[in-house]
Amino acid sequence: MPTCSRCNQLVDSQAVSCPHCGNELKAFGHPGIPLYQAKDTTYLCDRCIYHEDDSCNYPQRPYAKTCTLFHDKSLPLVDEWQFSPPKYKGIKGIQFWFSANRGLAIIILIVIVSVLIAVI
């Protein structure tokens, strides 16, 4: 369970506002839009990846205390494990390659059969 950035009390992950202090936790009152909030005297822009690459168009930049687009620059944008194929060895690896490249395998098979027919 996450904690409230103002009172540090545990709150439900779908809570729109903190039941203890009333702090707004979700942007625009929608439970699906997270609202990132800076602690005390810090700003979110100091550690945001969008501020660093100058792609942020948020009007409060570079002094934003709350933001819906914040992403910590020390974290990757996308988890690398989502795009790396599984590492199979032996027969499993060959089966995985054929299932992932079915069209290419069919073309290679047609070329091999054509060459064999031309030679014989």
**Average pLDDT, integer, range 28-34:** 81
pTM of the predicted protein model: 0.55
Query: Reduced to 3 states, what is the DSSP secondary structure of residue 109?
Result: helix
Domain boundaries of the chain, sorted by first residue = 85-119
Counted residue by residue, the chain has a size of 120
Query: Reduced to 3 states, what is the DSSP secondary structure of residue 112?
Result: helix
Would you say residue 73 has pLDDT above 80? yes
| Total H helices, total E strands in the chain | 3, 2
From CA 78, how far away is CA 45, in angstroms rounded?
20
Would you say residue 85 has pLDDT above 70? no
Residues with Cβ within 8 Å of 39's Cβ and at least 6 positions away in sequence, in order, are: 5
Q: Quickly state the pLDDT bin for 107 (edges 50, 70, 90).
A: very high
The pLDDT tens digits for 54-64 are: 998 888 888 99
